[in-house]
Amino acid sequence: MTAPTKITFFEFLTPLVASGLKTITIRDASENHYRPGSQVEVFTLENHIKVCDIIILAVEPLAFDDINEFHATQESLPLVELKQLIQTVYPNQQALFMISFKLVDASYS
């Protein structure tokens, strides 16, 4: 499959991505095709507004039950809130993927 060049985040989370505070996102298998080293455009899910660019660092399997404080810190969310959000988006899914990324600093472009 061709590596995707775009990713969406809920609008309320995009300030965390654009500030560099959020450095992972947890997605299901439909979004596990991001290629490490590739540059990806970030858009809001609701209005498709471009937010920033990120570089994908890794895509790794992550079971829902293994989500812990480390992931919450990388997500810049409280653990309880993160797990509730993931259960809402991906109900009853154990097999998830952790996508690690870094912000592309727009001031250098």
Ligand X SMILES: CC(=O)Nc1ccn([C@H]2C[C@H](O)[C@@H](CO)O2)c(=O)n1
Q: How far is the CB of 70 from ligand X (least distance, A)?
A: 14
The helix (H) or strand (E) run that includes residue 75 is helix 69-75
Report residue 44 as tokens. Answer: 């809001």
Q: Which of 22, 69, 83, 102 is catalytic?
A: 22
- Residues that bind ligand X (rule: CB under 6 A) add up to a total of 13
Which span (35-43, 47-55, 85-93, 101-109) binds ligand X, by CB under 6 A? 85-93
Among 21, 79, 85, 103, binds ligand X (CB under 6 A): 85
Report residue 45 as tokens. Answer: 């899910």
By the rule CB under 6 A, 86 interacts with ligand X: yes
Write the CB contacts of 67 (distance below 8 Å, at least 6 apart in sequence).
Answer: 26, 79, 82, 83, 86, 96
**Do residues 45 and 17 touch, judged by C-beta distance below 8 A?**
no
Would you say 40 or 86 has its CB closer to ligand X? 86
Give, as ranges, the residues between 51 and 80 that touch ligand X (CB under 6 A): 75, 77
Vertex 81: Cα angle to 79 and 46 (nearest 5): 130
Residues of this chain that bind ligand X (CB under 6 A): 8-10, 13, 25-27, 45, 75, 77, 85-86, 89
Known catalytic residues are 22, 25, 75
